[in-house]
Structure 1
């Protein structure tokens, strides 16, 4: 009976020690993720006659508003490139803009990837960052000689988009 008790105690000790781990060697399994929503409104620079008012409505296109939704993944330095770029956030985003001229411009939207990284980082308190995105813009109303003759700036339903910030 004594041998059985000693054997049970040894089995219990061995099984409990199998679950022990070094707390300094714990790895994070996942990166921090974020979901960000942006709203922008502003003035359109009148760079051509169409924007200045030479369009179907006869009014200048001088105001816009846009919305974007970004899904970001914050890096933690596990890889060398993350350390070299100052622990950037990267991810995927959706963007849509309204120029208040649906008949001639449409409602352009974009799907793009982005990276946001610090240029200057001081003592983990503040930083100056840059952000750049690249993707595909769709839903434009392109130039058409019969149906959209004034809008000569955009010639395609889909365009590439470069978004520096």
Structure 2
């Protein structure tokens, strides 16, 4: 628990320093305590064998109500942003560990009817203390391959004002733990649960729409260039695998470069098209089994670079962008156990300056299987206002 408190205090202090001094008004803050009781989804053969799949979770969240000081806040209907912690108890399934997570929160109102409010929320963070797959110890659940994982939670629910300072909420949440294939196996651990929330407002503050005419900002066409790097764990997939060491394999490096053209068509959205080249060491090697051990060898006489084309959509929230794309490796040669040439990706991009940006995202295939985590650094070469 010592490391848990350290991680929470560090994240909380960073979040607080990131705010402008004049926006830290006590009346804009709120806190909530939440509990959920649901079930782990049986998405693989080991989870299906569990007679009981129930879990319980307890969380605490600290949020700030945006008030329109930044243009994007009014565009997104004055969302709440903040940090939270959650602890999960898998009850009869202690072999899954006792994970706890620290996460950032985006919580936005969809509609309000007098005292009844409808919200949706997105949480994204990091989770610790899962019990990973270990054949030597007899832990054979292929859901999780590492102690540290990404935590993603999506939810929607209704809140009712029960007094001057409190709301009572009922949500439906979907939670996901995964390490992005940094270590296999990594089938992911998914759960769904109703959540009961008690929200405290020291002082209720409803964002007031300004009577000042809002400036309509320019829309831009941009040309961006970025380089990225990643690592992933891959295992031998032949039918003659050793049952006692089912996930033998190697860790491979991936790196590449991309160029994108984006056309902004509203203050919130842009669409674009990108091209990229990727050096994927897993693609350039093949694994084989010999005397019970897995080895790898070069697949081609010379390394093959993958060329890709990537149509994309961008959601704009101030300096933070959410990039969603679906791509295709144009000349990829595929064998029996190779991944499909189609891939999908979602990433968060932050504009460090008007030109320089950094990005973190997930590259996946089949729309649900993580391939690797991408770390990017890029530069905007052209940024022209649309006429």
Scaled by the length of structure 2, the TM-score of the pair is 0.32
- How big is each residue's C-alpha offset from its partner over 1:38-85, in whole Å with a ceiling of 9 and x where there is no partner? 0001233222222222xxxxx524111000100011111222111111
Alignment of 1:34-53 (within 5 A): 34-53=30-49
The answer to which structure, 1 or 2, has the higher relative contact order (CA under 8 A, 6+ apart) is 1
- Give the ranges of 4+ consecutive aligned residues of structure 1 lying more than 6 Å apart after TM superposition: none
How many residues are aligned here? 132
Deviation, structure 1 residue 148: 3.8
Structure of greater Rg: 1
Task: Give the CA RMSD over aligned residues.
Answer: 2.1
Counterparts of residues 48-127 of structure 1 (less than 5 Å): 48-53=44-49, 59-100=50-91, 101-102=93-94, 104-121=95-112, 125-127=115-117
Shift of 1:121: 4.5
1:30 to 1, 16, 25: 25
Aligned equivalents of 2:111 and 2:138: distance in 1? 46
Q: Secondary structure at the match of 1:119?
A: strand
Unaligned runs of 5+ in 1: 1-26, 54-58
Q: What residue in structure 2 maps to residue 152 of structure 1?
A: 142
Structure whose residues are more often strand by fraction? 2
Distance, in Å, in 2 between the alignment partners of 1:148 and 1:76 is 53
| More helix per residue | 1
CA contact (8 A) 1:44 1:61 kept: no
Contact 1:61 1:99 in 2 (8 A): no
Q: Is the 8 A contact 1:88 1:116 kept in 2?
A: yes
Q: TM-score, normalised by structure 1?
A: 0.72
